[in-house]
Structure 1
Amino acid sequence: MRSFGVLICALWLWLAGGAIAQERVVNVYNWSDYIDPKVIEEFTKETGVKVVYDTYDSNEVLETRLLAGKTGYDVVVPSGPFLQRQIAAGLYQKLDKAKLKNLKNLWPEVMGRLAAYDPGNQYAINYMWFTTGLAYDVEKARERLGGETPNSWDVVFRPEILKKFVDCGVYVLDSPEDLFSVALQYLRLNPDSRNQNDLKRAADLLGVARRNVKKFHSSEYINALASGDICLAVGWSGDSFQAHNRAREAQNDVVIDYVIPKEGTLMSLDNLAIPKDAPHVEEAYAFIDFLMRPEIAARNTNATNFANGVLASKPLVNKDILDNKAIYPDPATMARLFTVRAYDPATQKFITREWTRVKTGK
Structure 2
Amino acid sequence: MARVERPVRRRSRVRIGFGVAAGMLLAALLGLALPGRAAEERVVNIYNWSDYIDPKVLDAFTQETGIKVVYDTYDNNEILETKLLAGRSGYDIVVPSGPYLQRLIRAGAFLPLDKTKLKNLGNLWPEISGRLAVYDPGNAFAVDYMWGTTGIGYNVAAVRERLGANAVLNSWTTVLNPASANKLKDCGIMMLDSPEDLIPSMLPVFGAKADSKRWDDLTLVTDALYKVRGSVRKFHASEYIQALANGDICVAVGYSGDVLQAKRRAEEAKNGIEIAYVVPKEGALMWFDTFAIPKDAAHPAEALAFIDYMLRPEVAAANTNFVAYASGNLAAKKFVKPEILSNPGIYPDEATMQRLSINTAWDDRTQRYVTRLWTRVRTGR
Query: For this structure pair, what is the TM-score category when the shorter chain's length is used for normalisation?
Result: over 0.9
Match of 2:196 in 1: 177
Cα deviation digits, residues 140-193 of structure 1 (max 9, x gap): 122122125721111011111111211111110000011111221111112211
Match of 1:11 in 2: none
Match of 2:23 in 1: none
For 2:57, give the aligned amino acid. V
Q: 2:60 & 2:272 partners in 1: Cα distance? A: 35
Partner secondary structure for residue 116 of structure 1? coil
Match of 1:343 in 2: 362
Tell me which protein shows more helix as a share of its residues: 1
CA RMSD of the aligned region, Å? Answer: 1.4
Q: 1:20 & 1:164 partners in 2: Cα distance? A: 65
Map 1:170-319 to 2 at 5 A. 170-319=189-338
For 2:248, give the aligned amino acid. D
- C-alpha displacement of 1:17: 5.5
Q: TM-score, normalised by structure 1?
A: 0.93
Match of 1:61 in 2: 79
Contact 2:202 2:284 in 1 (8 A): no
Q: 1:209 & 1:76 partners in 2: Cα distance? A: 35
Match of 1:46 in 2: 64
Q: 1:188 & 1:86 partners in 2: Cα distance? A: 30
Q: 2:145 & 2:342 partners in 1: Cα distance? A: 20
Contact 1:183 1:205 in 2 (8 A): no
Structure 1: which 5+ runs fail to align? Answer: 1-13
Map 1:65-214 to 2 at 5 A. 65-148=83-166, 150-214=169-233
- C-alpha displacement of 1:20: 3.2
Q: 1:262 & 1:326 partners in 2: Cα distance? A: 13
Q: 1:15 & 1:181 partners in 2: Cα distance? A: 55
Question: Rg: which structure is higher?
Answer: 1
- C-alpha displacement of 1:255: 2.1
Structure 2: which 5+ runs fail to align? Answer: 1-32
Partner secondary structure for residue 269 of structure 1? strand
Q: Which aligned segments of 4 or more residues in structure 1 are displaced greater than 3 angstroms?
A: 14-17
Contact 1:169 1:214 in 2 (8 A): yes
Q: 1:175 & 1:215 partners in 2: Cα distance? A: 12
Partner secondary structure for residue 232 of structure 2? coil
Q: 1:333 & 1:228 partners in 2: Cα distance? A: 28
Match of 1:8 in 2: none
Match of 2:44 in 1: 26
Q: TM-score, normalised by structure 2?
A: 0.89
- C-alpha displacement of 1:241: 0.6
Contact 1:222 1:243 in 2 (8 A): yes
Q: Which moved more, 1:202-211 or 1:36-45?
A: 202-211
Contact 1:141 1:231 in 2 (8 A): yes
